[in-house]
């Protein structure tokens, strides 16, 4: 206990001295792509300082640039960052998806080549999973990879490739053997996006942004040294990465800070009565939401503490993904009910920047129950693998 108390004191002092004012509160968080320019100097400085300590990936091994923290130290770091409202220094598929997967299943060469740039925020990644005819039934994918000795030639199409227009690398599922059952002929490959034969077309969403893309391959190359796991055995790797992804997506649903901000917003729009939200019904809804946030956050923390080396739990990741995304959707529905018509504007002087951001975030939240596996898919996984129910 004394050791963790000392770590907390040292961490608190370091954060107080090294977290710039501009890296606290809402703002842009680097995603790791060299194609996205972060203009704010405080955000850049924060990323640099945290990367130097390995705290962009706190629990990853120091040998690959990570922080080497224990689970207990990691929890302290997150608590102290939340205490001062410090933003995450880096986020994206590098830290949340492909990085953990490579640390667990990659070769030593793959780890040393790919992990340090992820930690430093130098390279961005995108996910080449879904296809127009392979969504929830992902194993029906048709993008094919032809063996050409030391590399594969890839032809086909992916869709919903988030951030593909900014990514430097893609991790993709490709069919390397069409003559075996569909789950057995898939390989998991890494390929560069800036090469001939890769074309990206952004998809405009109802939120007004284009985070999703179509990606087309016309004799694109993937080196065989960038196959993760065995050729034709990529489905196992793919499933493990999905568990990391679902835990990451699920994390958007927890956090008492977000609930506290809802309380402040409610007081602004509905007024205060002796320091409380003036409207009784809204006050009860905010309290209930805050309790659910707190319970969910504690459940995720307990699961991490119980898991081996803080890795994503197995089927329980589906529980986090399901509940976390549904909780996030409820958060924005609650915000809309509080802000009223001010939360459904698109532009114009009658709406503040925060109101316009809320409108777009509410629209974006609708995708939470679809991306990373639909809520229905998550419930099926829980029914089969956790509860043991029959098909």
Q: Which residues are catalytic?
A: 245
Directed axis angle between helix 353-365 and helix 316-339, to 10°? 140
Q: What six digits make up the tokens of 366?
A: 């609708």
Closest CA to 125 of 192, 29, 205: 192
Let me know how long the chain is: 391
67-72 own/partner pairs: CB under 8 Å, 24+ apart: 71/304, 71/305, 71/309, 71/310, 72/4, 72/305
229-233 own/partner pairs: CB under 8 Å, 24+ apart: 229/105, 229/187, 229/188, 230/187, 231/176, 231/187, 232/176, 232/177, 232/180, 232/184, 232/185, 232/186, 232/187, 233/184, 233/187
Q: What six digits make up the tokens of 324?
A: 């976390």
Q: DSSP characters for 310-324?
A: GPPPSTHHHHHHHHH
Q: Is 227 helix (H, G, I), strand (E, B) or coil?
A: strand
List the Cα angle 48/71/103 in 5-degree steps: 65
CB 89 within 8 A of CB 55: yes
CB 82 within 8 A of CB 257: yes
């Amino acid at each position: 206990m004394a050791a963790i108390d000392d770590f907390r004191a040292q961490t608190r002092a370091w954060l107080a001295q090294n977290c710039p004012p501009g890296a606290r509160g809402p703002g842009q968080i680097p995603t790791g792509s060299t194609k996205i320019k972060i203009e704010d100097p405080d955000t850049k400085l924060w990323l640099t300082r945290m990367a130097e300590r390995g705290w962009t990936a706190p629990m990853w091994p120091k040998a690959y640039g990570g922080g080497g923290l224990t689970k207990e130290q990691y929890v302290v770091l997150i608590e102290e960052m939340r205490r001062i409202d410090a933003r995450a220094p880096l986020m994206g598929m590098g830290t949340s998806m492909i990085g953990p997967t490579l640390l667990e299943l990659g070769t030593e060469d793959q780890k040393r080549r790919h992990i340090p740039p992820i930690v430093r925020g130098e390279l961005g990644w995108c996910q080449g999973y879904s296809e127009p005819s392979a969504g929830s039934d992902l194993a029906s994918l048709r993008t094919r990879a032809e063996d050409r000795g030391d590399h594969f030639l890839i032809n086909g199409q992916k869709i919903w490739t988030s951030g593909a227009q900014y990514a430097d690398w893609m991790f993709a599922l490709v069919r390397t053997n069409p003559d075996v059952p569909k789950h057995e002929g898939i390989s998991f490959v890494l390929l560069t996006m800036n090469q001939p034969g890769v074309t990206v077309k952004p998809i405009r969403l109802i939120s007004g942004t284009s985070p999703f893309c179509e990606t087309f391959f016309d004799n694109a190359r993937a080196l065989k040294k960038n196959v993760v796991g065995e050729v034709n055995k990529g489905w196992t790797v793919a499933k493990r990465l999905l568990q990391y992804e679902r835990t990451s997506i699920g994390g958007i649903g927890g956090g008492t800070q977000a609930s506290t901000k809802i309380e402040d917003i409610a007081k602004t729009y509905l007024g205060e009565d002796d320091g409380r939200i003036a409207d009784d019904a809204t006050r009860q809804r905010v309290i209930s939401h805050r309790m659910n946030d707190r319970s969910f956050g504690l459940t995720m923390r307990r699961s991490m503490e119980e898991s081996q080396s803080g890795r994503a739990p197995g089927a329980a990741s589906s529980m986090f993904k399901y509940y976390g995304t549904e909780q996030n959707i409820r958060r924005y529905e609650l915000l809309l009910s509080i802000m009223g018509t001010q939360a459904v504007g698109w532009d114009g002087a009658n709406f503040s920047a925060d109101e316009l951001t809320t409108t777009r975030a509410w629209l974006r939240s609708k995708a939470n129950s679809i991306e990373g596996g639909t809520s229905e898919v998550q419930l099926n996984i829980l029914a089969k693998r956790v509860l043991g129910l029959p098909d």
